[in-house]
Amino acid sequence: EATIKMIEMCRDGGYRGFYGIETSGREGIKRSKEVLDKVLFGK
């Protein structure tokens, strides 16, 4: 998925800041947070 690839590129490039979630609806935010947790923290 493109989102996962982009997060990995940022992490591998040394980015350690905040990630913004821009989507509509609470379900989209929940899914986005789950992807970030999985990619960044292995949760």
pLDDT tens column, 1-43: 899 999 999 999 999 999 999 998 999 999 999 999 999 999 8
Report which residue type is found at 27.
E
Question: Which pLDDT belongs to residue 43?
Answer: 83
Question: Which pLDDT belongs to residue 29?
Answer: 95
Question: Which pLDDT belongs to residue 16?
Answer: 94
- Sole residue written with tokens 């990619």: 39
Question: Which pLDDT belongs to residue 37?
Answer: 95
Q: What is the CA angle 38-33-7, rounded to 5?
A: 60
Question: Which pLDDT belongs to residue 1?
Answer: 82
- Domain ranges, residue 28: 2-41
Residue 34, token pair as written in the block: 């789950």
Residue 36, Cβ neighbours under 10 Å: how many? Answer: 16
Among residues 39, 37, 40, 32, which one has the least CA distance to residue 16?
Answer: 40
Question: Which pLDDT belongs to residue 2?
Answer: 92
Q: What is the domain count for the chain?
A: 1
Question: What is the value of pTM for the model shown?
Answer: 0.77
Among residues 43, 40, 42, which one has the least CA distance to residue 19?
Answer: 40
